[in-house]
Amino acid sequence: MDIATNLLEQARSRAAAEGLTARFDEGDAEKVPYLDSSFDAVISMFVVMFAPRPELSAAELLRVCRPGGTIALANWTPGGFVGQMFKTIAGHVPPPAGLPSPIQWGDEAKVRERLDSGATDLRTTPQMIAFEFPFEPAAVVEFWRVYYGPTNRAFEALAAEPGQQSALRADLERLWTSHNQTTGGTTRVESEYLEVIATRL
């Protein structure tokens, strides 16, 4: 399930190419279109953390998972590379007032606060993921500007201010360049995320 219809179409195409039978539904993480206790496992990889009201999305994760089922999440951490990227963006495009940062889902204490009422045996493990691109950091920033929602929206918010767009791009290019582990016109950057696995009560 995803709120973005274009991503659902890509998922359907990839599933068909792999010969998989899968159903993809449009839906909002704060109001999931499924019955209580519908699933043995409820999984989110860098998605539910972006719902603006975490108390609602956390309640939905618990609601649609059957008792004894598994809730598994991957959430960017505040100190990881993507967390730093979000902080860089926020320095140019402040987040809406009153909304908690999505990066809070990468904090173990916050995750426990949000899920402990309906889950047990909650385990969190920091993990690393590598981004590898066959082009230099400046081109990576442009790639993320086009294809990654939070970066895309940040640049759109500055559409009337080309100077501010250029400043944001320069800061992101510096960030990617400073963390790049390769040379020769390619890019490899690692980012930490928090793996969360819990059992529904």
Cβ 120 vs Cβ 170: under 8 Å: no
Q: Which long-range contacts (CB under 8 A, 24 or more apart) does 149-153 make?
A: 149/4, 149/50, 150/50, 150/86, 150/89, 151/85, 151/89, 153/93
pLDDT score recorded for residue 197: 98
Q: In the numeric block, which tokens belong to residue 67?
A: 């008792």
| Angstrom distance (rounded) from CA 12 to CA 25 | 10
pLDDT score recorded for residue 117: 94
In the block, residue with structure tokens 């953390």: 49
The contacts of residue 157 (CB under 8 Å, 6+ apart) are 93
Q: In the numeric block, which tokens belong to residue 192?
A: 């930490």
Cβ 132 vs Cβ 188: under 8 Å: yes
pLDDT score recorded for residue 180: 98
Cβ 166 vs Cβ 141: under 8 Å: no
pLDDT score recorded for residue 54: 97
Torsion angle of C-alpha atoms 17, 127, 30, 60, degrees rounded to 10: 100
31-200 has which fold? Rossmann fold (3.40.50)
Q: Is the pTM of this model over 0.85?
A: yes
pLDDT score recorded for residue 60: 98
Q: Per-block average pLDDT, block size 10, for the chain (201 residues)?
A: 94 98 97 98 97 97 98 98 97 93 97 97 98 98 95 97 98 98 97 98 97
Pairing state between β 39-45 and 119-133: unpaired
pLDDT score recorded for residue 179: 98
Q: In the numeric block, which tokens belong to residue 96?
A: 């809406």
pLDDT score recorded for residue 70: 98
Taking the alpha carbons at both ends of the chain, their separation in whole angstroms is 23
